[in-house]
Copies of this chain bind each other. A is one copy, B any other.
Amino acid sequence: MPAGNWADLPQWPTSMLERVRKQAPRVHCLMNTVVQKLVADGLSALGAIPSMTSSTEEVQDFARKADALVVNLGTLDKQRREAIGLAVDVAAAREIPWVLDPAHCDYSPPRARFAQDLLQRQPTALRANAAEYGLLTVPDRVVAVETGVVDHISFAGQTISVANGDPLMAKVTGTGCLSGAVIAAFLAVDDDRHAATAAAMLVLGVAAEKAALSASGPGSFEPALLDALAALDGGDILERAKVTG
């Protein structure tokens, strides 16, 4: 179990990244309308294949072709709420991994209630911040990612902490939403849900650090992050990884 011995097995995140690039998993995104483009470009840069429709007529056809799903509750409306239910039905029936990002559910009680209902459907991983966790009860089998300056990825009583990333990420709308999609891509290529989720957070965090080296501000950081995701190699990860647990 990589989570138990990072020091002995530092190659696993790189190995998973290589599998994402080789297998090019299809990740269907039920994504808020603000960041659909960034999330699609981020998945493509990583080597995965994004799709984005939230149409109730079409979402099940897309979910049937997907290797993983990410469900983000930003800019939630009736149609996407219904589409999410339909897509999760397909994910459950096909036993493909799916990630829940309750995106600011602390701002909106109906969104928080919907997030809790979705948690009962056993997503593979939950990505949320401390304020969002305060409103949610997480089932045992769900990998719990608590994002912050240091990201804590907990499962089955163990926690992996990842201290990589850059403050500019907080200045670019959608980098958090992208992390949910990157987790889904990694879950699609490895059955160790704890290690795969941690590897995804590590890869995005290291890419952000590389991007910050060439960025002049939040505007130039965004294309630099996509360039870094596409160019990232095992050397970058080994050199920069700040992982404990």
Chain A interface residues (CB < 8 Å from chain B): 32-38, 40-41, 44-45, 50-58, 61-62, 65, 74-79, 104, 107-111, 170-174, 216-220, 222-228, 230-231
Contacts and interface: CB of A to CB of B under 8 A. Distances in A.
Contact of A219 (B78, B173, B225): B225
A218 B44 contact: yes
A77 B50 contact: no
Contacts of A79: 77
Contact of A172 (B34, B41, B53): B41
Contacts of A41: 171-173, 218-219, 222
Query: Closest 5 interchain pairs by CB?
Result: A219-B226, A217-B227, A219-B223, A40-B173, A55-B77
Given A220-B224, A223-B222, A226-B219, A75 B57 contact: no
A contacts with B: majority SS: helix
A52 B75 contact: yes
Given A34-B37, A53-B76, A58-B107, 4 more contacts: A37-B174, A54-B77, A217-B227, A219-B225
Contacts of A78: 55, 57
A137 B239 CA distance: 54
A96 to B, nearest CB: 16
Given A65-B107, A108-B61, A173-B41, A223 B220 contact: yes
A54 B105 CA distance: 15
